[in-house]
Amino acid sequence: MAVQVHRERVQVGIVGAGPAGLLLSHLLAQAGIESIVVEARSRIHLEERIRAGVLEHETAAVLRETGLGDRMDREGLVHDGLFLQFLGAAHRIDLKALTGKGVMVYGQHEVVKDLIAARLNEGEVIRFECENVSVRGIDTQAPSIHYEHGGVNHEIACDFIAGCDGFHGICRTSIPPEALTLYERVYPFGWLGVLARTPPASHELIYAGHDNGFALLSMRSPEISRLYLQCPPDADLALWPDERIWEELDARLSRSDGFRLTPGPILQKSVTAMRSFVCEPMRFGRLLLAGDAAHIVPPTGAKGMNLAVGDVRVMARALERYYARHDGDAIAAYGPACLRRIWRVQRFSWWMTQMLHRFDDDSPFDRRRQLADLDYVAHSRAAATTLAENYVGLPMDWGDGP
């Protein structure tokens, strides 16, 4: 008995319905380019998965410019500064005064909800809960995406495939290993993140370096706090009951001016390992990688989703030029254009991470050096400007030119 295969064709096939894949599909649609997004997980999983929540100035602008910013502007929290905290004192970095820009606190899962709603409004352009996804013919002129759903095999013939399926996805690993150079640093700690039903104790984010390790106070709304603790990368959540989490957060975030947290019910908790990772090149034949499929940054600099937005904006413009003028050079230039900015963001994320976290092999000298670094940023306008300029986001066109 012949196996049933459902075949269709589209200009761009996209693997992965995270922010990168969904935004790419949205941008392509606005340019008149057809796409289909193939995703292994369910819509509910994608919309409820709590991730980062700081949008760079230019990321927020991209969402507004493409018709996705209304709910963000109603419900998001505009931040014009942040606090660096060490030795029991907080020092405000005035992002707005130093750069003329701020950031938007709006959860990644909220961005995903907005993108899914916008894409489904265009029709059945997202395929959820796909099994055994694979890509074939990526080094030919006729690549294709294959998957199973509901007992039926599907094949999508494409001109190009966008691999937006994350670090553990199938797209990057479909490229011959000898064609790639991988750069990676794995950190000896992770973040224990909690979502708590308690009003944020600060109106702006607090990045705290402490002898016990790093802590971060963030938020998702005026009623919901998002908090993080440095912990072992393989920390057992069973050993972190709510009471211990609040005790440790209070120890690392309390200040000599009497600042304290207000504990509340913890709604979610998870441990995230940390790494820096870059894959070069970001294109192999007709497969173009974007977002976490091509690079990972430690979350200290709040750059993961923002880098993905930068990638797909460059990719969408390259594809638009290709279809308008059959400009193959635009496709060839995609990876190099992204990588220049990616490495600058990697540098910033590494710098923030090493300045604020405790490493197992730190000596007393290392600790005093960290404190001197924090002190310099807190009291030098030039150093504070460097942090602020990177935090609100380097221009997405910085990859252009020599």
Catalytic: 106? Answer: no
The mean per-residue pLDDT over the stretch 331-352 comes to 96
pLDDT at 1: 47
On average, the pLDDT of the chain sits at 95
Range list of β-strands (E), 95-236: 103-105, 126-127, 131-136, 144-149, 152-157, 160-163, 181-196, 206-208, 215-219, 225-231
**pLDDT exceeds 90 at position 66:** yes
Q: Which of 200, 299, 323, 357 is catalytic?
A: 299
Q: Which of 19, 26, 57, 79 is catalytic?
A: 79
Peptide bond into 188 cis (omega under 30): no
The mean per-residue pLDDT over the stretch 36-42 comes to 97
Residues with Cβ within 8 Å of residue 146, at least 6 apart in sequence: 132, 133, 134, 135, 136, 153, 154, 155, 156
Catalytic: 183? Answer: no
User: Same domain for 216 and 230?
Assistant: yes
Percent of the chain scoring above 70 in pLDDT: 98
User: Same domain for 243 and 306?
Assistant: no
pLDDT at 327: 84
| End residue of a domain, out of 358, 375, 394 | 358
User: Same domain for 195 and 264?
Assistant: yes
What crossing angle do the helices spanning 19-30 and 304-325 adopt, rounded to 10°? 30
Q: Give backbone dihedrals phi and psi of 261, rounded to 5 degrees, phi first.
A: -85, 155
pLDDT at 162: 98
Give the largest Cα separation in the chain, rounded: 76
Confidence of residue 51 (pLDDT cuts 50, 70, 90): confident
β-strands 12-15, 160-163: how paired? parallel
User: Same domain for 135 and 251?
Assistant: no
CA pair distance 373, 244, nearest whole angstrom: 30
**204 within a domain of the structure (yes/no):** yes
Has this prediction a pTM greater than 0.85?
yes
User: Same domain for 156 and 40?
Assistant: yes
| Element holding 114 (H helix, E strand) | helix 108-120
The mean per-residue pLDDT over the stretch 122-136 comes to 94
Q: Which of 101, 295, 303, 357 is catalytic?
A: 303
pLDDT in tens, 210-238: 999 999 999 988 999 999 999 999 999 99
pLDDT at 111: 96
For residue 255, what is the domain's CATH number? 3.30.9.10
CA pair distance 301, 310, nearest whole angstrom: 15
pLDDT in tens, 278-293: 999 999 999 999 999 9
- C-alpha angle 304/305/310, rounded to 5°? 100
pLDDT in tens, 74-87: 999 999 999 999 99
**365 within a domain of the structure (yes/no):** no
User: Same domain for 198 and 344?
Assistant: no
- The domain containing residue 29 runs over which residues? 5-53+107-180+281-358
Q: Which of 207, 228, 322, 323 is catalytic?
A: 207
User: Same domain for 137 and 268?
Assistant: no
Q: Is 226 helix (H, G, I), strand (E, B) or coil?
A: strand
CA pair distance 115, 120, nearest whole angstrom: 9
Helix locations, 191-262, DSSP H: 242-253
Catalytic: 299? Answer: yes
**67 within a domain of the structure (yes/no):** no
Burial (0-12, 13-18, 19+ Cβ within 10 Å), 193 = buried
**60 within a domain of the structure (yes/no):** no
| End residue of a domain, out of 274, 299, 324 | 274
| End residue of a domain, out of 358, 374, 393 | 358
**401 within a domain of the structure (yes/no):** no
pLDDT at 3: 65
pLDDT at 398: 53
More reliable by pLDDT, 397 or 193: 193
For residue 304, what is the domain's CATH number? 3.50.50.60
User: Same domain for 213 and 353?
Assistant: no
What crossing angle do the helices spanning 108-120 and 19-30 adopt, rounded to 10°? 40
The mean per-residue pLDDT over the stretch 23-37 comes to 97
Q: Which of 106, 147, 322, 391 is catalytic?
A: 391
User: Same domain for 132 and 15?
Assistant: yes
pLDDT at 2: 53
**84 within a domain of the structure (yes/no):** no
User: Same domain for 218 and 260?
Assistant: yes
CA pair distance 230, 208, nearest whole angstrom: 10
User: Same domain for 136 and 259?
Assistant: no
Q: How many domains does the chain have?
A: 2
179 to 116, 145, 175, 296: CA distances (angstroms): 34, 21, 7, 19
**389 within a domain of the structure (yes/no):** no
**332 within a domain of the structure (yes/no):** yes
The mean per-residue pLDDT over the stretch 331-348 comes to 96
**pLDDT exceeds 90 at position 49:** no
User: Same domain for 204 and 291?
Assistant: no
pLDDT in tens, 292-338: 999 999 999 999 999 999 999 999 999 999 999 988 899 999 999 99
